[in-house]
Structure 1
């Protein structure tokens, strides 16, 4: 292995009163980021991923990425860069963790002590430049990636975690659907990205997050049209719509009939 084929960097982002935004950039090498402490966002190929404690990010060559942090936050950890010739020495199971379309580059693991130890060992070996340091470092990185690979495999096998997030999402909709209609807001409340939320919804229910929100609003609209004698414009405002035309368009899109037609149809059926 050639010298400098593997490089180590310390991460230490201290955001002042104005926050912190790194310059968007890309590399011709691969990078592994590990945040021991994090309270920020990592944008990778224009998708936002939360930086939290014990979070990993695997960035492939040519992927545009940058980091933003809110004011008065401190994010620190480690980063490693790998030349392509080193990267290609890993088996496919590990290289496939990087840079796949529609695949999240973010991983949230719990084994903090192990990962911190491995990065410290990598730092010591690279700075010491002892015999076969690169070989040892390669082995340490393989251990890191194998743990990430194993976590991903376990996640795919277990639906319980996704099911729990989905159940929490449905409860949040139940509690907030009149005031909150944005997928982004619900994802924020769940401390995940909109992409992750949609992936979980499709995995569990085959529908998007927005479809789930719309279904709950539509159910309440039909309930009010059926059970109450309120005017449609009043129902519209009760459900948080700004005007009746917007509500009418929404309802017709969901049900292939207007609120008036639905109410009339229900009246004919049940009276």
Structure 2
């Protein structure tokens, strides 16, 4: 079941099984994805990493995550593009720069207890009923329902991950840094460069991150670069030399040193092994 707006807005609600997995694989490169598993425990392969998605768990993915659809058995899925929801909510904790879609190098998941599972199941039914409508209010109603869905999931995530209460201005700084990394990671590799964009001292950014989240600003930058390098090595035929310059490195040796330091294997070895890293090599 899907909704298409006049300005490219798109919302898709479906039960994924073998009959729709191929189409799902084609869609997920352009849309944010929410995968809800009300069925049996299953595996989901994201960026060549196999994740166990247990019954009553929900996974949140951005359009930058590569999903191997052939490994999906049965899941419920919500997909939407940024035109549908994120333009009016880009600064919100529940928007596309919020907690659930905070970083593309991570795969946030939540577990639903009995009460939350019932609430999500009810919302799913309301989504289905609304998608059967065809009036001029359908898009607005679906956006309201999605917002309610994300508010509930954000609350669960914060509770289960013991996210500290942070002043709004500080959370804005953290989210904005992550957003800037998404925009500039191919050309800017240092905390100082992002600090300059934000008109803040690099040291204050580092201190802020150490106080409120488990990763440093530099780790977020480097993880994003590594993630893109992996995708390009495995999903394209671009040469390693081209990848080197595409990701902003001056020469292949510097890129190879960086990649091997983070992954434990050279870019060529990673590509030749189809992304499988021998633990001994690490």
| TM-score (norm. length: structure 2) | 0.46
State which structure, 1 or 2, has the greater radius of gyration over its C-alpha atoms.
1
